[in-house]
Amino acid sequence: MGQAPPYGVRMDGYDEKIDAFVAACRKAGACGLLRYSSGNMSCRLDAEMVAVSARGAWLGEMSCDDVAICRLADGHTVNDKQLTAESGFHLGILRSRADVNVVLHFQSAFATAIACGRKNGYNFDVIPEVPIYIGEVGFVEYLPPGTEELADAVVSATAGHDLVMLQNHGQGVVGGDFKDVIGKAGFFELACEILMRQSEPGFITERNTGYEANA
């Protein structure tokens, strides 16, 4: 008798990739990048197919039953799972950036607090990992969640940035693999925590003008 898969029923042909996807979703939760059913993740399975967290899935408790498999070209699901409401920008990014294999939408506490604030001109380069691994941070003004307008804005912003702030919403980060994406998200959350906790105004500069929240 074969050994049962660690995370539930998988789709034939993608077993190892789906197991890795589920493990990465759980890792994102364990790292404090999201809570409950907030956040969503996607990854390429091959040139035509994508794994996406299903709508309402708790990434920190992810199983293979919470994974939607869809075609990259049109988003059609092949395993009867409903895609996350933000699948529009996941698929749009994967279509437009051949260098990206993983997309994570997260809502860590300190980074999201800054995304909901009215300050501008944050210099996120308070730890070396931000300029080294993330680069300049993009910004998307508030648009209703799950809409085509938000998806288009996020896809446009990630054309030139690996991490973007979504006003009053959260963050989106892209990368080549799971470790790359989770590392970028974690380092950014650390930088935002430093900025939120510090009391010296010298940390806030006009170095990074990508973040300019509306009053």
Hey, where are the domains in the chain? 15-203
pLDDT, tens digit, for every residue of 76-128? 999 989 999 999 999 999 999 999 999 999 999 999 999 998 656 789 999 99
State the average pLDDT over residues 176-199.
94
For 15-203, which CATH superfamily applies?
A: Class II aldolase/adducin N-terminal domain (3.40.225.10)
Polymer length of the chain: 215
Q: Which residue, among 65, 62, 61, 57, has the nearest Cα to 38 in the 3D structure?
A: 57
Confirm if 210 and 138 have CB atoms less than 8 A apart. Answer: yes
pLDDT, tens digit, for every residue of 199-215? 555 555 444 444 443 33
The per-residue pLDDT for 117 is 81
Return the sign of the alpha-carbon dihedral for residues 99, 110, 130, 148.
positive
State the average pLDDT over residues 70-81.
94
The per-residue pLDDT for 13 is 74
* Ramachandran region, residue 99 (left: φ > 0; alpha: ψ -120 to 50; beta: rest): alpha
State the average pLDDT over residues 143-156.
96
Judged by DSSP in three states, 158 sits in coil
User: Residue 94 is encoded by which pair of tokens?
Assistant: 């994967």
Q: Which residue, among 16, 7, 6, 23, has the nearest Cα to 182 in the 3D structure?
A: 23
The per-residue pLDDT for 200 is 54
Q: What percent of the chain has pLDDT over 90?
A: 80
pLDDT, tens digit, for every residue of 45-62? 999 999 999 999 999 999
